[in-house]
Structure 1
Amino acid sequence: MSKENKVYFFGQLKDITKIEAITIKDVSDTDELLREVKTIYPDLEKIKFFVAVNKKMIQENTKIESGQIIACMPPFSGG
C-alpha cells in the first residue's frame, strides 16, 4: 500500500505551481518530499520557502507518515 500526502502551496508558490495542492506518494521524509516537488516544479529551486507538517513549521528533515498535511509557504513579512 502506498503512502499519500497532500502538499498545499501558498502565496508565491501557488503562483509558480499554478495549483493549490498536489498529492505526493511514497516519500518517507520532508527532504525526499521536497526533492520530488522541486523535480515537478523546478522553478521552486530558485526561491526560499518554509515547510509545515500538520500545521507545525519545521526546520530540519522530518519523517512523514501517510495522510499528514504538508504546507509550502513563502517567507513571512511582518508589520
Structure 2
Amino acid sequence: MKINIIIFGQLSEVLGENLVIDNIADTESLQQALHKKFPELANYKYVIAVNKKQVTVNTVLKEDYTVALLPPFSGG
C-alpha cells in the first residue's frame, strides 16, 4: 500500500517536497515512521491533512490516499 505525502513550507527543508511511503496503516504510524527516518522533524510543529481534510485524531490510511504535512500558518 502506497501513501503519497506532500510536504509544505519549512518542512520541505527536512523531508523534501514529496514522499511515497509503503505499508503505513494510519496517521499515528506515519508520524512514528517519519520521526524515525527524519529525527529533526521532532523540532517542527505541523498538522496532517488526509485527502485535503485536516485530521486531529488517528486516521486509517488507504491505498493511494494523499497526505499533506502542513506547518503553522497565519493569515492577514
| TM-score interval, smaller chain | over 0.9
Which runs of structure 1 show a deviation greater than 6 angstroms over 4 or more consecutive aligned residues?
none
CA distance in 2, matches of 1:37, 1:6: 13
CA displacement at 1:47 relative to structure 2: 1.3
Counterpart residue number, 1:11? 9
Match of 1:16, SS? helix
Percent identical across equivalent pairs? 34
- Alignment gaps of 5+ in structure 2: none
2: CA distance between counterparts of 1:16 and 1:23?
A: 15
For the residues of structure 2 that align with 1:77 and 1:43, how far apart are their CA atoms? 23
- Provide the secondary structure at the position in 2 that maps to 1:34: helix
Matches within 5 A, 1:54-65: 54-65=51-62
Q: How far does residue 14 in structure 1 lie from its aligned partner after superposition? A: 0.4
Amino acid of the structure 2 residue aligned with 1:14: S
Give the TM-score normalised by structure 2.
0.94
Q: TM-score, normalised by structure 1?
A: 0.91
Q: Which runs of 5+ in 1 are unaligned?
A: none
**RMSD of the TM alignment (CA)?**
0.8
